[in-house]
Structure formats: C-alpha cells, structure tokens
Amino acid sequence: MKSFLRFLPLPVLFASVLAASAFAQEKIKVGEFASLTGGNASFGQQSHRGTQLAIDDVNAAGGVLGRQLQLITEDDQSLAGQPATIVQKLIAQDHVVAVLGEVASSKSLEAAPICQQNQIPMISPASTNPKVTETGDYIFRVCFIDPFQGTVMAKFALAHGWKKVALLTDVKQDYSVGLAEFFVKYFKENGGEIVREQKYSSGDKDFKPQLTSLKAAQPDAIFVPGYYAEVALIGKQARLLGLKMPLLGGDGWMGDSLLKVAGNSLDGCFFSCHFSTGDQRPVVQDFIKKFRAKYKEEPDDMAALGYDSAMILAEAIRRAGTTENDKLRDAIAATRNHPGVTGNITLDEKRNAAKPAVILTIRDGGFKFTQSVAP
Ligand code: PHE
C-alpha cells in the first residue's frame, strides 16, 4: 500500500484520501421539528425522546447503508408560523433527506406543503387530522386518523347509553375541530343527539361561561376533543360548577400535566389514544425498558409514535438502498407490517396507518387501560 501510494501524484492522493474519509463519515441527515417548549411542550419532548431513541438504536446497530443517522432537531416553541420557517431551513440549509414531525395537526399542516413542494418525504408521528397526508404524495403518518378515532369514541358513548352529548371544541386547532366533526357524524347517524356546542381557543384559562351553558343543556356526557393543558382546566372547572357527567376525549388529552393540574377531577372520564405500556409484545416491553433506562421516565403515546416514525424511515432508507428523494418516498409508501411499538404498521394508499385505538379511563391519579378497538 505504502509503495503504491508513493507513485500517486500528490494532489490525487490528497483528493482521494479526502473523498474516502468524507464518504465514510458523511452522516445521513434527518430533520425533526417539535414543540419542545411552549404550550404543547409535553408533545414535543416526548416525541423527540422516542425519535432520538430510535435513531440511537439504528446507529448502535451500524446505521443504514453503512452510514450513521444524524437527527437535526428544531423547536417550534408550540407557535404557529414556526414550522414553516423551520422546515424550510431543514431542507434548504441542512439538506435533510426527510422530515419527522409534528404531533399537533395544525403544525404538521403548516410544514407539509413545504415538504411536498421540495419533494422531501415527511412522516408525522402523531397528527391525526386527515388533511395532513392529503397535502400530497410525499406526506405520511404512522398513526390512525380522526374519522376512526371520532367513530371509536362516538360508539363508546352510545354503548354506555350516553345519548345526549354536549361538545366543547378548541377552534384554534384543526385537530379539535375535525375530531368533533367526525364524532358528531357517527353519533348522530346512530341515534345520538348533540344537545349543545361551545367553543374555546388554545391558551384560554377560564371555561366557566361555556361550562355553565353546557350544564344547562343537561348532557349525559361532554365530548372535549382538546389538548391536555386546556382539558385539565376544563375538568377542574366543570367539577367546581357541579357538572358530574363524564368528559370524553381523544389522544390530545395525553400530556404530562393533565393529571397534575386536574387532580382527581377527571376521574371516571375516558379518552382514546395510541399506545398502552401494558402491551406485552416483546417489541413494546423492550422499547419501554430502553426508554426508562435512557430517560428515567415512562414513555407515552408521543414517545412511542416518535420511535415508530424514525424506525420506519430508517427501514425505508435501507430498503431503498439510497437517500434519493423519489426512491425513498416509494420505499416509505411500501411500508407493510412494520412491527411498531404502537402496533403493526402498514401504510395504505393514502399514506395513513390503520391501527387499533386504545381507550383509557382515569382513576386513582392514573390512566387505566379499558379496551382496544380494532379499525
Ligand atoms: N392527534 C393529535 C393531533 O393531531 C396530536 C396528539 C397525538 C396528541 C398523540 C397526543 C397524543 O393534533
């Protein structure tokens, strides 16, 4: 080797050594945007931890295509307007091969058109509003969608004999507005009656006027398809005003401060979500063990979905044999039966995943598994 190198012209030698080391070291850049701070910080912190754990797992096992993955994470501060700027930067400046994010549907809906325009695949871990993947053929998600989730909760209410339901919707969130709509559709078509509807906006703190109005309509239950921060206050204020009926909700209830703020005021309430730590499949128990070891806490839905989104991307890069955008897009679209921690993931022709929903109830300061509902 030494003697051979001696005969190479010096510039060629330098160039080839540089090229070889650059190739070996060049990491595959994956972008992530998440609400690490601000009103939905629990969403972003959890999804980021799950995503990072998957990237670390892949890298520890040798990476993909002989290269390590590099996760470039940006905080959108839970603010509208940030996802667009951030994703633009991830694509134009960092040259990421794909984008992972967001949890909240409104945030994903901001970023999706930019990824689509640039033909960079985007995988949302947890945004359930149907419009997200309808943006275009480069936009995917690894979770179920709200027409399913809304139906699950409407059926659940009817099965309990709660035929008169009131609604309390967050008009600032596409997620909340959409989920309310899908709930109502199935509920009404199957004999339910919506006795009153009230609205609020993300960030509101006082829900007493709306709750007072809902109380007067005497519903059997109230459907509150909101996010954990507001739902916690709604639960507290509802009980203070003497509303005793159960509140029902969707995956947006999942957040670290829900029970800390609500105390026991949400006891006896129900919501649908994506993941149960009680799932005994080895892939789930293994994930939980690794997550606990790394972060000293329990993974929740967003963590599990974040993990699945990054694993599906890594696997698609491996199958594509390249990070070229169109081939990578096709490989993601071809995802079938991926053994995810949130269930087996097959992406359908609309780039969504059909998976069971888990219904949890709140009791004794914790979430308790009630049932799993298949699509
Ligand atoms: N599904 C919610 C949305 O689309 C986000 C969410 C997912 C929140 C999972 C909590 C858990 O906005």
* pLDDT value, residue 12: 56
Q: Is the pLDDT of residue 299 over 90?
A: yes
Q: Is 142 in the pocket of ligand 1 (CB under 6 A)?
A: no
What is the percent of the chain where pLDDT is above 90?
91
* pLDDT value, residue 14: 56
* pLDDT value, residue 365: 85
Q: What is the DSSP string of 293-359?
A: HHHSS---HHHHHHHHHHHHHHHHHHHHTS--HHHHHHHHHT--SEEETTEEE-B-TTS-B---EEE
Could you tell me where in the chain the CATH 3.40.50.2300 domains are found? 11-144+280-355, 147-273
Question: What predicted TM-score, i.e. pTM, was given to this entire model?
Answer: 0.93
Q: Is the pLDDT of residue 1 over 50?
A: no
Domain at 11-144+280-355, CATH from 3.40.50.2300, 3.40.710.10, 3.40.50.2000, 3.40.50.300: 3.40.50.2300
Nearest-CA residue for atom 6 of ligand 1: 252
Q: Is the pLDDT of residue 10 over 80?
A: no
Residue of 76, 127, 307 to test ligand 1 pocket, by largest number of atoms within 8 Å of CB = 127
Give me the architecture of the 147-273 domain, per CATH: 3-Layer(aba) Sandwich (3.40)
pLDDT digits (tens, 9 = 90+) for 24-77: 569 999 999 999 999 999 999 999 999 999 999 999 999 999 999 999 999 999
Q: Is 102 in the pocket of ligand 1 (CB under 6 A)?
A: no
For the segment 289-296, the average pLDDT, to the nearest whole number, is: 98
pLDDT digits (tens, 9 = 90+) for 232-272: 999 999 999 999 999 999 999 999 899 999 999 999 999 99
- Cβ pair 108, 127 in contact under 8 A: yes
Q: Long-range contacts made by residues 262-265, C-beta under 8 angstroms, separation at least 24?
A: 262/231, 262/232, 262/233, 262/235, 262/236, 263/236, 264/365, 265/235, 265/236, 265/238, 265/239
pLDDT, mean over the chain: 94
Q: Is 243 in the pocket of ligand 1 (CB under 6 A)?
A: no
Q: Is the pLDDT of residue 280 over 80?
A: yes
Beta strands in the chain (DSSP E): 28-34, 69-75, 98-100, 122-124, 139-141, 164-170, 193-200, 221-223, 247-249, 270-273, 338-340, 343-345, 357-363, 366-373
What is the percent of the chain where pLDDT is above 70?
93
Q: Is 104 in the pocket of ligand 1 (CB under 6 A)?
A: yes
* Range in 9-13, 76-80, 176-180, 351-355 the model is least confident about: 9-13
* pLDDT value, residue 256: 84
pLDDT digits (tens, 9 = 90+) for 175-204: 999 999 999 999 999 999 999 999 999 999
For the segment 163-169, the average pLDDT, to the nearest whole number, is: 98
